[in-house]
Amino acid sequence: MSDDATMMVDGIAVTRIPMLSDNYAWLLREAASGVVAIIDPAEAAPAEAVIEAQGGRLDLVLLTHHHDDHIAGAVALAARYGAKLVGHQADAARLPVLDVAMRPGDTLAFGDAQIRMIESSGHTVGHVTYVIGERIAAVGDTLFSLGCGRMFEGTPVQFYASLQRIAALPSDTLLLCGHEYTKGNVGFALSVEPENAALRARAAEIEALRARGAATLPVRLGDELATNPFLRARNAEEFGRLRAAKDRF
The answer to the question of residue 127 lying near Zn ion (CB under 5 A) is: no
The answer to the question of residue 40 lying near Zn ion (CB under 5 A) is: no
Based on the residue annotation, tell me whether 141 is a catalytic residue of this protein: yes
Q: Check if the beta carbon of residue 208 is closer than 8 Å to that of residue 140.
A: no
Q: From CA 29, how far away is CA 170, in angstroms rounded?
A: 21
Based on the residue annotation, tell me whether 88 is a catalytic residue of this protein: no
The answer to the question of residue 141 lying near Zn ion (CB under 5 A) is: yes
Based on the residue annotation, tell me whether 123 is a catalytic residue of this protein: yes
The one-letter amino acid at 165 = R
- Judged by beta carbon, residue 67 or residue 232, the one nearer Zn ion is 67
Q: From CA 104, how far away is CA 4, in angstroms rounded?
A: 32
| Segment contacting Zn ion by CB under 5 A, of 65-73, 111-119, 155-163, 218-226 | 65-73
Closest residue by beta carbon to Zn ion:
67
Out of 16, 29, 66, 67, point to the residue binding Zn ion (CB under 5 A): 67
| Segment contacting Zn ion by CB under 5 A, of 76-84, 88-96, 136-144, 206-214 | 136-144
**Closest distance of CB 62 from Zn ion, Å:** 15
Based on the residue annotation, tell me whether 127 is a catalytic residue of this protein: no
**Closest distance of CB 72 from Zn ion, Å:** 12
Instruction: Give the start-end residues of each E strand in the chain.
Output: 6-9, 12-19, 23-30, 36-39, 60-62, 84-88, 100-102, 107-110, 113-119, 128-132, 136-140, 143-144, 147-148, 174-177, 219-220
Q: Look at phi and psi of residue 174 and say left if phi exceeds 0, alpha if psi is from -120 to 50, else beta.
A: beta
By three-state DSSP, how is residue 215 classified?
coil
- Judged by beta carbon, residue 30 or residue 141, the one nearer Zn ion is 141
The answer to the question of residue 88 lying near Zn ion (CB under 5 A) is: no
Residues near Zn ion (CB under 5 A): 67, 141
